[in-house]
A and B are shown apart, each in its own frame.
Chain A
Amino acid sequence: MRLIRGVAIALALVLLAAGGVGAQEITLSVAVSLKDAVEELGRGFMAARPGVTLRYNFGASGDLQKQIEAGAPIDVFLSAAQRQMDELEKQKLIVSASRRAFARNVLTVVKPADSRIDIAKPADLLEARVGRIVIGSPKTVPAGQYAEESLRALGLWERLGPKIVFSENVRQALDYVARGEVDAGFVYTTDAATRAHGVKEAFRPPDDSYRPIVYPGAVVAASKQPVIGQAFLDLLGSPQGRTVLSRFGFQPPPAGAR
């Protein structure tokens, strides 16, 4: 009997402690291409605010959007495309007033670092030597959506059909290229920079073949910590935030974008 009481008290203490006495935690769903930049900004954010903990949920923006729609306890959403944010805004799942664009990215085609296949322009992807090309699954991955848009605009989508394989997110596409599983892949320039030893840029699809890659961020409507969430969004938009983002290769958002 005493043993059971002892265990019950110990359990209660453990649960209380885990409840986060005094800690304020927010969870951010972040497009995986932002991983390195957000982690760095987050470290500075937490250092300046003792007691605040940031938890990250990285993934393809489409998957993250669906999770928020399904009621996942997320405080802030940073998306790699406006489409996913628009969907959430339509369903009133984000705080519209908090929404702002904070970065812009550029699409590039990479090949394995030791590849000896010459790929210098889009039409080269049709060559027989290029066996497989990876893009993020257009159903859920913005990078894949932009890639498909670009290939369609260039008239290559149908002809490349059987060569294209899908990945679950843009970092997996990058990984496939770095591992040599495919001959080329569509990723962001910022992703290519994180794997400089594994991949090299082959060419960049023409800017006018896809819509601008705008990254919006917003506080989720159901968030229990909107103030902290807004503070992080403010950091993203601040000069300090922009410096860190540009160090990772992100560009400032187009004027007027949200």
Chain B
Amino acid sequence: MSPDNLSALRLSLQVAVVSTALNALVGIPIAYLLARRRFWGRSLVDLLVTLPLVLPPTVVGYYLIVLLGRRGVLGAPLYELSGFTVAFTWYAAVIAATVMALPLLVRTVRAAIESVDRDLERAAYTLGRSELRTALEVTLPLARNGILAGLVLAFARALGEFGATLMLAGNIPGRTATVPLSIYTAVQTGESGEALGLVAALTALSCLVLVVANRLGARAA
């Protein structure tokens, strides 16, 4: 496998791992709130979190550019303050992958949390535990298999992200060319050998990830 391809694999794994970690940090609390709490704007949060799942990746990519491009709503102040833009960096690839995979994580974790017996939580409350401690010590551990399944799905989705990544991060070998983007370039340039290698690697990885997700999902039921 060529050095460009190896770097694409390394980059893809790096992006997927970081993106899944971010999704866990952001997504699990959101999933808990949607599952257990009523609050103003709840439907809106639910909608926003689900939107990247149903919108075409290029639409999400467009919004990300509007938000984070050098002249973007958030990108412009960032550039003014620090001279830094996310576009064309691997951070952009992480952001694109995170946004696209978030709905998968939130939905799976939310379902797992909703299936936890509320009596057990109430028991913890009557014993004096705060909601936060109950969540951390009772609810989430009981939803553990569902949470793991959600993380694995989010990882797989982040690994395969293409459209939004291409738009925000560009397709730069060694820096933002993840495996899906490299496959695209290899096919465009007629390098079928390179393409095949990358396709085989990503297929094997994705199958593995799905098998693990299914096992965890079955145990959660």
Contact = CB atoms under 8 A, between A and B. Distances in A.
Interface of A: 62-63, 66, 69, 131-132, 137, 139-140, 165-168, 179-181
A66 B172 CA distance: 20
Given A132-B88, A165-B172, A181-B88, 14 more contacts: A62-B188, A63-B188, A69-B190, A131-B83, A139-B188, A139-B189, A165-B170, A166-B173, A167-B170, A168-B171, A179-B70, A180-B69, A180-B70, A181-B71
A183 B83 CA distance: 12
Most interface-central of B69, B70, B87 (chain A CB within 10 A): B70
Most interface-central of A63, A69, A168 (chain B CB within 10 A): A168
A166 B173 CA distance: 9
Contacts of B171: 137, 166, 168
A139 B185 contact: yes
Contacts of A63: 188
Most interface-central of A62, A66, A137 (chain B CB within 10 A): A137
B85 interface: yes
A167 B85 CA distance: 17
Given A179-B69, A180-B70, A140 B188 contact: yes
Interface of B: 69-71, 83, 85, 87-88, 170-173, 185, 188-190
B69 A181 contact: yes
Contacts of B85: 181
A137 B181 CA distance: 13
Given A166-B172, A179-B71, A140 B189 contact: yes
In the A-B complex, list the 9 residue pairs whose CB atoms are closest, starting with the nearest. Answer: A165-B88, A180-B71, A180-B70, A181-B70, A139-B189, A66-B190, A181-B87, A165-B172, A63-B188
15 contacts: A62-B188, A62-B189, A63-B188, A66-B190, A131-B83, A139-B188, A139-B189, A140-B188, A166-B172, A179-B71, A180-B69, A180-B71, A181-B69, A181-B85, A181-B88
A66 B187 CA distance: 9
A61 to B, nearest CB: 12
Contacts of A66: 188-190
B66 to A, nearest CB: 10
Contacts of A69: 190
A166 B172 CA distance: 6
Contacts of B173: 166
A127 B69 CA distance: 22
Nearest to B184: A168
Most interface-central of B85, B88, B173, B190 (chain A CB within 10 A): B88
Contacts of A62: 188-189
B105 to A, nearest CB: 30
A8 to B, nearest CB: 33
A132 B88 CA distance: 9
B80 to A, nearest CB: 12
Nearest to B71: A180
A122 B189 CA distance: 30
A69 B173 CA distance: 25
A139 B184 CA distance: 12
